[in-house]
Structure 1
Amino acid sequence: MIQAAYIHIPFCTHICHYCDFNKVFLHQQPVDAYIDALIIEMERTFERVPTSQLQTVFIGGGTPTSLTAKQLDRLLRAIHRIVSLASDVEFTVEANPDEVSDEQLYVLKEWGVNRLSFGVQTFDRELLQRIGRTHTKETAIETIERAHKLGFHNINIDLMYGLPTQTIDHLKETLRITFSLPIQHVSAYSLIIEPKTVFYNLMKKQTLPLPSQEEEAYMYEMIMEQMEQHGYRQYELSNYAQKGFDSRHNMTYWNNDDYYGFGAGAHGYMNGIRHVNAGPIKKYIQLIEQGQWPHVDEHVVSKEEQMEEHMFLGLRKIEGVNKNEFFMRYGKTVHDVFGEAIALQKRNGLLEETEEAIFLTHRGKLLGNEVFQSFLGVSS
């Protein structure tokens, strides 16, 4: 049974310079028609691929809080009507620090949302402007504290490092503020320059002053050290949590388990088939209204691909890949399939192995992509 669902809200009031997610400006968009289509897609999907109940729900974007309180209420009400949620469900909604009102928070709380994820990125005023964020340091702090007072006690913030002109001191100050706030989980990602973004165009013009690779690696090591010192356990390459606050939804991805994906541009993985929904809003709505599935691409994942994905996703977890779980799922040992690649990366000092698991060394965390690539195309 599938136990996780991702729901995509593609609307934004402002487009950040680094973002390549499926999103559109909110102004003059058919938001209500989109919510109608989203609800219909969920109804049809749960009828076609039922589940006993969902353990995790993640509403992301875009910016889910670009919806009004009334629109959020309609969407959340429909979710509860369509599918059963576990009594201890992890129910996450992403939010912009400067776009969430008390009324919206009350609606989220009323419908069982118990985890908020704020796209803070940095607490530095100039860096926020440089990356195209519209909130301020003060707004972010106030919003986090306000959400906590209103009863949200599982709060994540996204942080970024390796930003243009970002220094070690910038990052130290952002971490200092982070540790002073009621935050239980931190996702800290290095900046990746994606095509079709403002930053990509600036990079092509050679006008994007990025930190060096050495500086970026130092930032990552500093984040790992500071998080550990302040009681945030690193459980995945980019994720840190206080005890009991690991993201159960994201573990679905890293465990290579199935999940529903709803909305324009959303990805899903159901019964061994990965699919992608139509990205353009009007196209997505049109397909739903015509009674069609919004999937524009479906891929049956072969056993070989599943094993490869299991390795490079599982190695993102600090605990690594459990060898017994691998055998129980695929009927082969990891060494039967990936023996040479494992031996090579152990010689390189990037992998370590115990009787139970295979996992990245400290140096391997810094060179994760090099390790992951070594498991592609070798299982056939």
Structure 2
Amino acid sequence: MFIDGQPVDEYVDRLIQEMHMVMAAHPDEPIETVYIGGGTPTALSAAQLDRLCQGIRRELNFTSGEFTVEANPNDLLGTDKLAALKANGVTRLSIGVQSFDDEILKRIGRTHTVADVLAAIKNARAAGFDNLSIDLIFRLPGQSRDKFLDSLHQALALDLPHYSTYSLILERKTVFYNMMRQGRLHLPSQDVEADMYQDAIDLMAANGRQQYEISNFAVPGYECRHNLLYWQNAHYFGFGAGAFGYIGRDRYHNFGPIQQYLQPLREGHVPVIEHHLVPLTEQMEEELFLGLRTNAGVSRQRFKQRYALTLDQVYGPVVRQLVARGLLADDGEHLTLTEQGKQLGNEVFEEFLITEPLVD
């Protein structure tokens, strides 16, 4: 099978080969959660999904735990793929919805409709999946605050245990980015964007979905364990074209385009294009950036255990300044973002960049 001219069957086989090679070098590393993402894993056929999931179970020695697969709504209109995922122990589906407005979906190039979303959710539930998540995007072209509110209400009417909401990010070399540079992209203002985000926070809370991370809301017990490990700055393996992994101090990056990813594996080599030995200062910065995204925040005790320095030794003046500005809360054990801090998260994170030598 080929998707957009790519050799998908070989890609699945080589992906399993990569897992085998990497885990042979790390036989004692525990695998607690698995997440198949990167865009469109459900574009694979049911047989390919079955082969991939079986390979994961075999090569990663992954027998139990959270097993998430990202899905497009229009890939779940039949039952064969859902049956293959369920048979292989997938426990959680994350469905890329983006909006409950057909006009906006068409404008942003999505191929599914609202009717497809409803059918996909119905099929997933019928297949036995109860741990379902959908994502919504705000600050989309032509999206008013009222239109986003309508999407929020329709999403919550589905009574799912988990929701994610993200503001549109303009990536370089994308159609939207080029339109923005040309002045042809009409996006909601920053004030409207802030109102949309607050609407999401308020409505999710009113419907029993706790905000456990800046962009994520869940019924207690349904938080995404895989992403929590990431936000705790824990280690993880990355497999596949363009994947990132972080083991020990080594952050590595695989070749991106599929053909470039396949070539080293054809020659018997791990397909890593770059290794980055993460220095201590960068580890500390990421501990703050990632930890502050969660409602649990950054633990002073954990920071000292990991880096043999106290938070005050490294960030004392910064913490006091941000607390005084009302952006950070400090209870003596944890640092957390205030509601205002969540609105200005990137501004807060920038304050934790280390520009001077550490105090011992």
CA contact (8 A) 1:240 1:246 kept: yes
For residue 174 of structure 1, what is the aligned residue in structure 2?
Answer: 151
CA contact (8 A) 1:144 1:182 kept: no
For residues 63 and 159 of structure 2, what CA distance do their matches in structure 1 show?
26
Question: Which letter maps to 1:285?
Answer: L
Q: 1:116 aligns with which of 93, 98, 114?
A: 93
Give the CA deviation at 1:50. 2.1
Q: 1:317 aligns with which of 281, 291, 294?
A: 294
For residues 302 and 126 of structure 2, what CA distance do their matches in structure 1 show?
41
Question: Cα deviations across residues 151-204 of structure 1 (Å, max 9, x unaligned)?
Answer: 101001011001111111111111111111141111100001111111011111
Matched, 1:91 2:59: no
Q: 1:45 aligns with which of 4, 22, 40?
A: 22
For residue 287 of structure 1, what is the aligned residue in structure 2?
Answer: 264
Secondary structure at the residue paired with 1:173? Answer: helix
Relative CO higher for 1 or 2, CA cutoff 8 Å, sep ≥ 6?
1
Matched, 1:327 2:327: no
Percent identity between matched residues is: 47
For residues 311 and 232 of structure 1, what CA distance do their matches in structure 2 show?
25
Q: Structure 1 residues 117-126 or 344-353, which shifts more? A: 344-353
For residue 347 of structure 2, what is the aligned residue in structure 1?
Answer: 370
Give the CA deviation at 1:53. 4.1
- Written as runs of structure 1 = structure 2, the 5 A alignment for 1:236-247 is 236-247=213-224
Question: Which letter maps to 2:308?
Answer: G
Matched, 1:197 2:174: yes
For residues 179 and 318 of structure 2, what CA distance do their matches in structure 1 show?
38
Q: 1:257 aligns with which of 210, 229, 234?
A: 234
For residues 170 and 248 of structure 2, what CA distance do their matches in structure 1 show?
33
Question: Which letter maps to 1:94?
Answer: E
Give the CA deviation at 1:52. 5.5
Q: 2:250 aligns with which of 273, 276, 281?
A: 273
Question: Which letter maps to 1:97?
Answer: P
| TM-aligned CA distance change 1:124 to 1:316, over 3 Å | same
For residues 140 and 51 of structure 2, what CA distance do their matches in structure 1 show?
38
- Written as runs of structure 1 = structure 2, the 5 A alignment for 1:58-137 is 58-87=35-64, 89-100=65-76, 101-137=78-114
| TM-aligned CA distance change 1:234 to 1:171, over 3 Å | same
CA RMSD of aligned residues (A): 1.4
CA contact (8 A) 1:338 1:379 kept: no
For residue 342 of structure 1, what is the aligned residue in structure 2?
Answer: 319
Question: Cα deviations across residues 254-299 of structure 1 (Å, max 9, x unaligned)?
Answer: 1000000000000000111101100011111001111222111110
For residues 54 and 105 of structure 1, what CA distance do their matches in structure 2 show?
24
The TM-score, its normalising length taken from structure 1, stands at 0.91
CA contact (8 A) 1:277 1:297 kept: yes
| TM-aligned CA distance change 1:348 to 1:168, over 3 Å | same
CA contact (8 A) 1:267 1:277 kept: yes
For residue 219 of structure 1, what is the aligned residue in structure 2?
Answer: 196
More strand as a share of residues? 1
Question: Cα deviations across residues 201-222 of structure 1 (Å, max 9, x unaligned)?
Answer: 1111111110000000000001
For residues 26 and 296 of structure 2, what CA distance do their matches in structure 1 show?
31
Give the CA deviation at 1:377. 2.2
For residues 356 and 106 of structure 2, what CA distance do their matches in structure 1 show?
46
Secondary structure at the residue paired with 1:186? Answer: strand
Give the CA deviation at 1:355. 2.0
| TM-aligned CA distance change 1:140 to 1:148, over 3 Å | same
CA contact (8 A) 2:233 2:287 kept: yes
Secondary structure at the residue paired with 2:147? Answer: helix
CA contact (8 A) 1:55 1:85 kept: yes
Secondary structure at the residue paired with 1:200? Answer: helix
Matched, 1:26 2:3: yes
Give the CA deviation at 1:81. 1.4
The TM-score, its normalising length taken from structure 2, stands at 0.96
Question: Which letter maps to 1:133?
Answer: R
For residues 236 and 40 of structure 1, what CA distance do their matches in structure 2 show?
34
Secondary structure at the residue paired with 1:261? Answer: coil
Give the CA deviation at 1:26. 2.3
For residues 63 and 263 of structure 2, what CA distance do their matches in structure 1 show?
32
For residue 303 of structure 1, what is the aligned residue in structure 2?
Answer: 280
Secondary structure at the residue paired with 1:144? Answer: helix
Secondary structure at the residue paired with 2:94? Answer: strand
